[in-house]
Amino acid sequence: MESIAKGLFAGTIETEGLVPYPKLTDEERETVAFLLDAFRKFAKENINAEKIDAEHTIGDDIIKGLGEMGILGMTIPEAYGGFGFTPSQYGRVMEEMTRFCASTAILVGAHQSIGYKGIVLAGTEEQKQQWLPPLATGERLAAFALTEPEAGSDASAVKTVARYDAERRGYVLNGTKQWITNGGIAHTITTIAKTGESALTTFIVDTAAPGFSIGKTERKMGLKGSSTTQLIFEDLFVPEANLLGRKGRGFLLFMKVLDTGRMGLAASCLGGCKEMIKQAYEFAGRRKQFGTVVGEYEMVRHKFARMAAYTYAAESMVYLSTGLVSGGFDDYAAESCLCKFFVTEVLWNVINDALQCAGGNGYMEEYPFERYLRDARINLIFEGTNEITRMYAAHMGLRHAQKAVRGGAARGDLAWAPDGLRDECAELLALVRKFGEHNRALHERYGTGLNDREYHLERVADIAAGLYAAVATLSRTVEEIKQRPEALTYGRAFLHFELPRLRDLLESDFTAADTLKTAVSDHLYSKGGYPFDRWEI
């Protein structure tokens, strides 16, 4: 199976995996429904998001309850005590958790989507037997430690060093990690360190080992209930048995872990979108201004239409992606990156619109909007900033486009799309093919120098994400309208919002705008900040 996301860069629509739209089996759906029912009951009785936010902590009773339900082991194979959930099943549960409390959801996500994911992906049988069962029950919690004071998304800048000790048959780690989610409560850390000039290796660290300590605990804008700390390794001994994956191949493993983490994060964001739409409607549907219900005003209707249409599209692209992975597709880095930056920004925009619909109430702590806004802002930064994920996606896609040029002409059509979307499909297909031509022209013009043309790469990534969301929306709508015909309206609405934006990105000449971006930023940098003050004239 070819990557659908990468194919778009070459002007191609890959239909394998796209048609039919992936869905859960009856057994998978029943298992998820059972767990969701249990979680909702538990959350209503035990999870108070406002209290967690105010007290900056998630109680041990909540963590224990999540463990007993099996939520902390959702993605661990059944052989090691987990549920063995597919990415689609996992994403659906994470959606629901975010609706109740983002801090709790991020604890769970950091624990399994990235924390112990490396053990699931690359652990030996002995490692899986040792580490996974207690992680599945919550007896132990996990964290993922990559970021350092001088190394964020740039993993090659890692300074933590692992020196081999032949006498003790293990490695001695020295270094500092920062901004580690679950850092203050985790018992098991998967981390990365240099084992050579440029070689990076992954290790499993037991936090009870001598030489491990917790540094600064961060005070954050949002996700206040989650633990975010600095981790310090001082002559920390890690036995050979705790080396995870192959020596010197840690970077590739961590990138794979981040791919799964980005997809899980995108799924979590959907819950926030849905809850914010619900909360906004409760205000706009009953509150009156100038004798008219707020929701009846067309500028407010515009906001609700945009929130709903983009949430529908974001949901479509997330579950297309997780469905592909659930079906065995392994080359999903591009899909993961596109989902990450597109969906996190959809959530941010939905919260902004929802808060506006609530008016002054939306700004008050008494209502959930301001907490959702604070909690959501970090999504655009962690798991690789949205700038980094744009660049990563653009580089991958453009490399694929070059290979496709050598392999033959672009292909694909939308003959499978519903009749009610024929005009939109024709425009979408034209944009996909034009995108392939656009990318080939960029290569011809800049060659390898294109890697440094970030104004172009940013637009390329944005176009790819919009096109991917569009084809995912079409694929999902074909199936959806069989049971809910109104889905056609949501699909059309998204395409009417998004396709003109993509057309502008593809057809407009940004030469002058790009030149001005550089000129203004150059001048601002030379002055150390905004250089004008009206009152100095």
Residues 323 and 21: beta-carbon distance below 8 Å: yes
pLDDT recorded at residue 326: 94
pLDDT recorded at residue 407: 46
CATH number for 26-137: choose from 1.10.540.10, 1.10.3210.10, 3.40.50.2020, 1.10.150.20: 1.10.540.10
The fold of the 142-247 domain, in CATH, is: Butyryl-CoA Dehydrogenase, subunit A; domain 2 (2.40.110)
CA distance between the termini of the chain? 64
Residue 169 to residue 339: CA distance in whole angstroms: 42
Question: How many other β-carbons are positioned within 10 Å of the β-carbon of residue 60?
Answer: 10
Q: What is the 3-state secondary structure (H, E, C) of 218-269?
A: CCCCCCCCCCEEEEEEEEEEEEHHHEECCCCEHHHHHHHHHHHHHHHHHHHH
pLDDT tens string, the chain, 537 residues long: the values are 889 999 999 999 999 999 999 999 999 999 999 999 999 999 999 999 999 999 999 999 999 999 999 999 999 999 999 999 999 999 999 999 999 999 999 999 999 999 999 999 999 999 999 999 999 999 999 999 999 998 777 777 899 999 999 999 999 999 999 999 999 999 999 999 999 888 999 999 999 999 999 999 999 999 999 999 999 999 999 999 999 999 999 999 999 999 999 999 999 999 999 999 999 999 998 887 888 888 899 999 999 999 999 999 999 999 999 999 999 999 999 999 999 999 999 999 999 999 999 999 999 999 999 999 999 999 999 999 999 999 999 999 999 998 886 544 446 678 888 888 999 999 999 999 999 999 999 999 999 899 999 999 999 999 999 999 999 999 999 999 999 999 999 999 999 999 999 999 999 999 999 999 999 999 999 999 999 987 765
79-110 pLDDT per residue, tens: 999 999 999 999 999 999 999 999 999 999 99
pLDDT recorded at residue 417: 87
Number of DSSP helices (H) and strands (E) in the chain, helices first? 17, 10
Residues 5 and 14: beta-carbon distance below 8 Å: no
Phi-psi region for residue 80, left (φ > 0), alpha (ψ -120 to 50) or beta? alpha
Task: List, by residue number, the catalytic residues.
Answer: 383
**Rounded (5°) CA angle 368-32-107:** 45
Q: Where do the domains of the chain lie?
A: 4-18+254-507, 26-137, 142-247
The fold of the 4-18+254-507 domain, in CATH, is: Butyryl-CoA Dehydrogenase, subunit A; domain 3 (1.20.140)
Residue 142 to residue 116: CA distance in whole angstroms: 6
The 3-state DSSP composition of the chain as helix, strand, coil percent (nearest 5) reads 65, 10, 25
pLDDT recorded at residue 408: 45
